Amino acid sequence: MLTTTLSDFRKDIKSYLDKVTQSFETLIINRGKDTGVVVISLEEYNSLKSTQHELSSRINQQRLDESIEALKSGKKLIKKLDD
């Protein structure tokens, strides 16, 4: 995780954004007492939104937990997909 001030961010915006997008760094820009902004890559944002959706209902959470446990125990489920 990177942190910077707003004035330093302005001075070197390209470098900071390159680090965020290329290295999947999270950037926190401090804006004064107890305020700030978090910058993440679009790919990271989309991943977070996807995870949020997957966990948005109790049924989805249970299915995910069951799938993880099945993988850990070595159980496999193979289905053929129709063309």
Distance, CA of 72 to CA of 66 (rounded, Å): 10
For the record, the structure tokens of 3 come out as 């942190």
pLDDT tens by residue, 17-73: 999 999 989 999 999 888 999 999 999 999 999 888 888 888 888 888 888 888 888
pTM beyond cutoff 0.85: no
DSSP-derived letter for residue 74 is T
Beta strands in 6-80 (DSSP E): 27-30, 36-39
Q: Label residue 8 by pLDDT band (50, 70, 90).
A: very high
pLDDT of residue 22: 94
pLDDT above 60: residue 83: no
